[in-house]
Amino acid sequence: MDDTELFNTARYPTPARPLLGMTLLVVEDSRFTSEALRLMCLHSGARIRRADTLIAAERHLKVYCPTVILIDLGLPDGSGLDLIHRLSRHSPRIEVILAISGDDGMEKRSLEQGADGFLAKPILSLASFQETILHHLPAAQRPMDPRLVNEAEITPDPISYHEDLQHAASLLDGRPDERTLDYVAQFLTGLGRSANDGAVRDAGQTLGITRMRRASPDKALLALRGLLQKRLAAAPMF
């Protein structure tokens, strides 16, 4: 029996699996965050699909309509705010549109663009994840019996973090353009916060501040490349 057969045997939410029968589309470029969300969906009974860019998300949305969509605000090919704005006004509307960001200050903007809610990185609490989604669903799509609150914290596979670091390092090869530098700065800031790696978070913030000040990024890049090499040389586990 594969996963599809398992889902087909019971498609209604239960107290233990409150998202059973639902499909979540995660628009997220970080493998680390995506892995955390995959595990949460597994524990909650939901199917999950992932798109790592806005273009990939549009391809998914042409084929099916998810019950819930979670959209990261800093994607390689643009801002998730644009997708939130469009989807919030589309008919039929996706039941729940949630914004994801490592920057708490983006919550207000995402709600203004039409998001139903906001999940701040790191996203590790299963109970908070479930409650945020259920809060915005119609009553008919929630479990009929009291939900079993699961206080577990999700721990993604460390290999996914290693893969994210490899991705960032590859983007910094050669002479990256300004758009790439801005993307890597926010990507690593959020990634370091999600993985509780203060050095990576701070290095990403330093590059971002340097870019905001329109100063030369050479010093920040040198330090960042050295840190990434050090992390990648170590075993992919913390």
SS (H, E, C) 29-61: CCHHHHHHHHHHHHHHCCEEEEECCHHHHHHHH
Token pair belonging to 52: 């790592």
Does the pLDDT value for residue 1 go beyond 50? Answer: no
pLDDT recorded at residue 153: 78
Three-state DSSP at 5 gives helix
Query: Per-residue pLDDT for 173 more than 50?
Result: yes
Instruction: Kindly tell me if the per-residue pLDDT of 203 is higher than 50.
Output: yes
Is pLDDT at 238 greater than 80 in this prediction? no
Beta strands in 52-104 (DSSP E): 68-72, 74-75, 78-79, 96-101
3-state secondary structure of 133: helix
**Residue 23, beta-bridge partner list:** 47
Domain(s) labelled CATH 3.40.50.2300 in the chain stretch across 3-141
For the cut 50, the answer to whether the pLDDT of residue 207 exceeds it is yes
Predicted confidence (pLDDT) per residue in 2-59, tens digit: 445 444 445 677 878 899 999 999 999 999 999 999 999 999 999 999 999 999 999 9
Position with higher pLDDT, 148 vs 59: 59
Measured CA to CA, the distance from residue 162 to residue 129 in angstroms comes to: 24
Q: For 172-185, what is the mean pLDDT?
A: 95
For the domain with range 3-141, which CATH number is right: 3.40.718.10, 3.40.50.2300, 3.40.50.180, 3.40.50.300? 3.40.50.2300
Task: Give DSSP secondary structure letters for 139-179.
Answer: GGGS-SSPP----PBP---HHHHHHHHHHHHHHTSS---HH
Q: By CB neighbour count within 10 A (0-12 exposed, 13-18 middle, 19+ buried), where does 102 fall?
A: buried
For the chain, report the end-to-end CA distance as a whole number of angstroms.
35
Average pLDDT of span 151-160: 86
At 61-115, the pLDDT tens digits run: 999 999 999 999 999 999 999 999 999 999 999 999 999 999 989 999 999 999 9
Beta bridge partners of 26: 50, 70
